Amino acid sequence: MGAAVFFGCTFVAFGPAFALFLITVAGDPLRVIILVAGAFFWLVSLLLASVVWFILVHVTDRSDARLQYGLLIFGAAVSVLLQEVFRFAYYKLLKKADEGLASLSEDGRSPISIRQMAYVSGLSFGIISGVFSVINILADALGPGVVGIHGDSPYYFLTSGKIHLLSSLYPPSILVPDLIYWPSLRDFFGSTSQEPGRRSGMYLLPISLPAAFLTAAIILLHTFWGVVFFDACERRRYWALGLVVGSHLLTSGLVSWRQGPELGRKAFNGEWDVGEGVSSLLNIFNLPGRRRKGESFKVSHLSIISITCSGEEVEWISQTVMQRA
């Protein structure tokens, strides 16, 4: 059910961050301000990276899928580097503020230490980046099925008679109980479904659950990176800076690397076998996933893409997939 997926994934993704916020940041106005300003800096860095990516995409050939994928990877790398640059800029700003605060205080000590600022700024980057990554997926998990809402291809989710096959892909540990179903999807695809979409709620689970865990990890990672980064700047240990940047790049690239560039190519060419997609997702958490070829597995490919693509794109994908099926 939408609500279960939504709440579960939200708490998985943001539980640690929320707890950290509530306990350490919410009580102190200064830290809250540092948090919000950190989020602003991250947003600016994202904006600049998007500008770069956008320009590149528009000056190059849009139909060349491989190039576009490469540009995307490049855009992601630029974004990571810009985030680190802005983290440094934020460090400089906070350092100045710290000095100002210290000079204004009665006993010459600033009310907040640079380490606290490092922690809060890391947390702020983490929260805002986590939110930006996953909030749309969560919102879609909550609401009624958006897929196919404009009456696009009825081939979405193909025939739900094959839906139950998907369940065999997943190890029992993440199988959603039978009680969970998604009535709105059933309503949408009532005519084409042979069984009452009981397991259709599971469609978004494979997307939102790994996303939630990954988001939680990234939030915490940003927090740690913030602390290490500021400390490295304070003590002028530039190798530690390089470590932070390198590990950020590594983390960001890890997902695509696991899938392999080959997968990316296939995705764009519409050859992506859903089994691969699903099993690669599962691989992230070292869960066993079996690859099975066949039409039914294209379904989850569509569901992954459909969360974020427009109706027209999904239409295209579904038609492409159907042609190859």
Partner 1 sequence: MLTFMASDSEEEVCDERTSLMSAESPTPRSCQEGRQGPEDGENTAQWRSQENEEDGEEDPDRYVCSGVPGRPPGLEEELTLKYGAKHVIMLFVPVTLCMIVVVATIKSVRFYTEKNGQLIYTPFTEDTPSVGQRLLNSVLNTLIMISVIVVMTIFLVVLYKYRCYKFIHGWLIMSSLMLLFLFTYIYLGEVLKTYNVAMDYPTLLLTVWNFGAVGMVCIHWKGPLVLQQAYLIMISALMALVFIKYLPEWSAWVILGAISVYDLVAVLCPKGPLRMLVETAQERNEPIFPALIYSSAMVWTVGMAKLDPSSQGALQLPYDPEMEDSYDSFGEPSYPEVFEPPLTGYPGEELEEEEERGVKLGLGDFIFYSVLVGKAAATGSGDWNTTLACFVAILIGLCLTLLLLAVFKKALPALPISITFGLIFYFSTDNLVRPFMDTLASHQLYI
Residues that bind partner 1 (CB under 8 A): 28-30, 32-34, 36-37, 39-40, 43, 46-47, 49-51, 53-54, 69, 72-73, 75-76, 79-80, 83, 93-94, 96-101, 103-106, 111-112, 117, 128-129, 131-133, 135-137, 139, 210-211, 214-215, 218, 251-252, 255-256, 259, 264, 267, 281, 304-305, 307-309
45 close to 86: Cβ distance less than 8 angstroms: yes
How many alpha carbons lie under 13 Å from residue 238 in its C-beta half-sphere? Answer: 0
Helix, strand, coil % over all residues of the chain, rounded to 5: 75, 0, 25
- Spatial separation of the C-alpha atoms in residues 237 and 11, rounded to whole Å: 36
Distance in Å, CB of 177 to partner 1, minimum: 26
- Spatial separation of the C-alpha atoms in residues 198 and 186, rounded to whole Å: 8
From the list 169, 185, 173, the residue with the least C-alpha distance to 291 is 169
Distance in Å, CB of 178 to partner 1, minimum: 27
- CB nearer to partner 1: give 86 or 198: 86
188-210 burial: b if 16+ Cβ within 10 Å, else e: bbeeebeeebbbbbbbbbbbbbb
Return all residues near 106 (Cβ < 8 A) that are at least 6 apart: none
- CB nearer to partner 1: give 95 or 164: 95
- Spatial separation of the C-alpha atoms in residues 216 and 285, rounded to whole Å: 14
Q: Is 4 helix (H, G, I), strand (E, B) or coil?
A: helix
Distance in Å, CB of 138 to partner 1, minimum: 8
In the numeric block, which tokens belong to residue 239? 């190798």
Distance in Å, CB of 170 to partner 1, minimum: 17
Q: Is 49 helix (H, G, I), strand (E, B) or coil?
A: helix
- CB nearer to partner 1: give 170 or 193: 170
- CB nearer to partner 1: give 37 or 159: 37
Distance in Å, CB of 211 to partner 1, minimum: 8
In the numeric block, which tokens belong to residue 34? 């540092």
Distance in Å, CB of 218 to partner 1, minimum: 6
Distance in Å, CB of 101 to partner 1, minimum: 5
Distance in Å, CB of 39 to partner 1, minimum: 5
117 close to 259: Cβ distance less than 8 angstroms: no
- CB nearer to partner 1: give 112 or 160: 112
Distance of CA 298 to the CA centre of its chain: 22
- CB nearer to partner 1: give 112 or 180: 112
- CB nearer to partner 1: give 139 or 325: 139
- CB nearer to partner 1: give 32 or 175: 32
Return all residues near 5 (Cβ < 8 A) that are at least 6 apart: 141, 142, 201, 204, 205, 208, 209
